Structure 1
């Protein structure tokens, strides 16, 4: 176990550093990218379309911060699932090595996504300090709120990584699905603004509750809904277990296909 943890750490570090290798700003891009993303979406939705969140005395900075929380939470799961289909076919040399634990590749991908999520959280904290009402004490509770999202990322990562070996088109399908997921989640609007006829569809999306919980603890200074959070964790554990089981069963055929 200890050897696997060290391997995950080393591969995650290599993954993060390698992504920006050769660029002028290097790893600083992980800080710049969320800022640019925040600026573009805020300009489009708040300035051009003039969409309001519905808060009293709402400013553009309030909208930007609430929007950014949704983008950060969505961005984590999107990175996990978008990269998953190519993890095995992009590391064929590992498949031939009997001693290499292939199951850690989705864990490494999830770890890389978690690193970028942490950088985005730093950007959010700075925004709350300089443009918001400060960082509430409840912001520390973002850690338990993230638990089900990480488990979903791992479970879906294992499922899609295995499927990507046998069905090469899955990467295209996942790319479209992740875009649809963004608009089927309360990223650009509060869940309260979803029409009643569609509430059931949006609530069936686990990301809806997680994003709302994240905004509650990070921006509004509220406790998360612990009952809802525990239910999310239980469901995410099932997804994670099913994903790992599917991957373990499927990996026996990887060498034959690759």
Structure 2
């Protein structure tokens, strides 16, 4: 009994919620986070014949399917696009961003529940788990981005210089995904139904986001409501910098960045507030 009480008292650590603590944690554990990201990526394709090549093959196959269906069969044309292939490119931009966000959200509820051995280890930084999940999703997003650039270069013979701004455009979405991951990872320990709900919400988000259609296709009175969707602004601006050669809306981006920083901090603070109760429930 004395040993159990001692272990429990060790787990009851006072955690800080400040933004500075968030940054300190990421910097202090960056080596561990990077090591676990690379291990997770390698494990994902472990045992397959083609190994890490699947990270490149999968987006290539998807882009090929989108091109065949929407350009070859439906003859769909994106507003402002030069040819039918531009519809596939515009669709691909939306799909890879949704896939990135959906992977982070879908995995978040199991980050703590799926690693109970980490909860018992006082020395393990549990708040690093969402960083690891985020890094794995970012790696796939980066590969898909390179596949898209290669396809655009082959079809159009050139790339706009603004495509280099894509990482900057996506930054607010990355922070939102991180904040939501912290929230879901902590809350799902006590409310395990979240793991079932997130899958449905991501499917709904697929059709509620301007992936299969541009934002301009929506009625004017609906567009402000659509902007509340965390994917809408990023998808639209990503298409502008990659496909249209246009600079992003820096004013809108700055507002989104400020809100995303708030979401990231709130998610981290919520995680820190609940983490002392993980061991009691798990």
Q: TM-score when scaled to structure 2? A: 0.87
1:6 paired to 2:31: yes
1:61 paired to 2:85: yes
Q: Aligned Cα RMSD in Å?
A: 1.5
Provide the C-alpha distance between the structure 1 equivalents of 2:219 and 2:75, rounded to a whole number of angstroms. 19
Matched with 1:203 is: 227
- The one of 164, 167, 174 aligned to 2:198: 174
CA contact (8 A) 2:175 2:260 kept: yes
Structure of greater Rg: 2
Matched with 1:26 is: 51
- The one of 13, 17, 31 aligned to 2:42: 17
- The one of 109, 115, 131 aligned to 2:133: 109
Distance 1:133 1:179, change over 3 A: farther
Structure 1: any 5+ residue segments left out of the alignment?
none
Shift of residue 75, structure 1, vs aligned partner: 1.5
CA contact (8 A) 1:151 1:236 kept: yes
Number of residue pairs the alignment of both structures matches: 257
Shift of residue 141, structure 1, vs aligned partner: 1.0
Shift of residue 55, structure 1, vs aligned partner: 2.6
Matched with 1:239 is: 263
Structure 2: any 5+ residue segments left out of the alignment?
1-23
CA contact (8 A) 2:109 2:185 kept: yes
CA contact (8 A) 2:70 2:84 kept: no
- The one of 121, 124, 136 aligned to 1:97: 121
Matched with 1:124 is: 148
- The one of 134, 138, 144 aligned to 2:168: 144
Shift of residue 46, structure 1, vs aligned partner: 4.2
